[in-house]
Amino acid sequence: MPAKKLTVVISQGQGKNPARRNLEEDIAAALIMDPDVDVSLVPHLYDMSRDHTGMLFLRSVPGDLVVLSWLYPRATRWILDRSDVSGQEGISLLKDEDADDEEEFQEAAAKDDDKDRVAAHRNGVPKRKIYCIDLRAASGSKPFLDEIRRIARENTVQTFDLMQWIQGTPKPQQLERYLHPDRMLAASKATPLGDEENGSATSVASPDLPEPTKRRWYPVIDYSRCTNCMECLDFCLFGVYGVDGQEHILVEQQDNCKKGCPACSRVCPENAIIFPGHKTAAIAGADGEVAGLKIDLSRLFGAPNAIELAAEERDAELVADGRTAVGLTVGIPKRQTENAAKPKDALDALMDGLDELM
């Protein structure tokens, strides 16, 4: 029985930053010769629609998966989940210097947590592991290659029937891509934007492939934190949120979201709403630490001046749409409006300081 190969997917950065492209290509070029690994390139995860070929490919992967991207791991995990690429959280040993402290911080927070999170009620999450790795976690390709090979060694011997893991009825061109990701990679390296003949994952010209990606802006929900309180649904006046068949909150109309505005992430009492492209690390999906300071994010988000700021940001979008500003009068829970009326405390001072640092 042949050993199962580990699937590694590199999600390309937005734009054409040469340093980023070099790192992506160095990692891909080293892994393409590795007998234990299948490596593929896809466009930036956040920008791919659910039916983009890259997302279709990700959904077709049956076993353990390593995803490298220019995003915080938490953001990557929940962007994938949103497109039904789900699994158990794989723990990467590729850590920043402060990772041990951060782990202790997370463990301490978890011990105190008796809240009912949406993730505990979601059915059908596969047992396979998904390892999300931030390409900003180290410099040079070696640390990433070492970590991928460590994960590959952990992979158990297992095979899959081909037709089990090809979901749906892929077109011949798509099937070829899944069966020979090395050819896809070679084509991609030859012409970064690809074409039909080359069959690159970033191809933009083929009539058989979905639309090219465009820059997007929408909230991503971390269901391991979300308590389904629906405060975001009440707060957003642009029809972005909805509920699924199990009455769980979901991002229903992602393209209704107002570009650059992170207002609802400030309102969420659990810091469960991520805007992966926001310049503030905590809003972009960083865990536990902002600007070198260990802070309780659940206190930071939903803090009084955050609510006021969120209301101001929402008003600006309402006015830009020709609608009337509503301030703190609509969609803000009573406890938060009461808090907003209180004088600033030490936490507000911390937030003001952090805003200046960003």
Q: Say whether residue 58 binds ligand SF4 (CB under 6 A).
A: no
Among 87, 90, 219, 276, binds ligand SF4 (CB under 6 A): 219
Q: Say whether residue 264 binds ligand SF4 (CB under 6 A).
A: yes
Q: Say whether residue 273 binds ligand SF4 (CB under 6 A).
A: yes
Tokens representing 164 are 């089990």
Q: Kindly indicate which of the ranges 31-39, 135-143, 161-169, 265-273 contains the residues binding ligand SF4, using the contact rule CB under 6 A.
A: 265-273
Q: Say whether residue 318 binds ligand SF4 (CB under 6 A).
A: no
Q: Say whether residue 4 binds ligand SF4 (CB under 6 A).
A: no
Q: In which element (H, E) is residue 143 found?
A: helix 142-154
Cβ neighbours for 126, distance < 8 A, ≥ 6 positions apart: 86, 87, 88
Q: Say whether residue 232 binds ligand SF4 (CB under 6 A).
A: yes
Whose tokens are 């009440």? That residue is: 234
Q: Say whether residue 224 binds ligand SF4 (CB under 6 A).
A: no
Nearer to ligand SF4, 173 or 254 (CB): 254
Integer CA distances (angstroms), 278 to 91, 98, 230, 257, in order: 25, 22, 22, 14
Asked if 218 and 311 touch (Cβ cutoff 8 Å), the reply is no
Q: Say whether residue 309 binds ligand SF4 (CB under 6 A).
A: no
Neighbours of 333 (CB within 10 A): 17
Q: Say whether residue 263 binds ligand SF4 (CB under 6 A).
A: yes
Asked if 28 and 10 touch (Cβ cutoff 8 Å), the reply is yes
Rounded to whole angstroms, the Cα distance separating 285 from 283 reads 5
Rounded to whole angstroms, the Cα distance separating 128 from 107 reads 23
Q: Kindly indicate which of the ranges 36-44, 144-152, 263-271, 281-289 contains the residues binding ligand SF4, using the contact rule CB under 6 A.
A: 263-271
Asked if 9 and 124 touch (Cβ cutoff 8 Å), the reply is no
Among 9, 56, 135, 257, binds ligand SF4 (CB under 6 A): 257
Task: Report the nearest approach of ligand SF4 to the CB of residue 111 (Å).
Answer: 20
Q: Kindly indicate which of the ranges 70-78, 137-145, 267-275, 350-358 contains the residues binding ligand SF4, using the contact rule CB under 6 A.
A: 267-275
Interacting residue ranges for ligand SF4, rule: CB under 6 A: 219, 221, 226-232, 235-236, 238, 240, 249, 257-258, 261-264, 268, 270, 272-273, 314
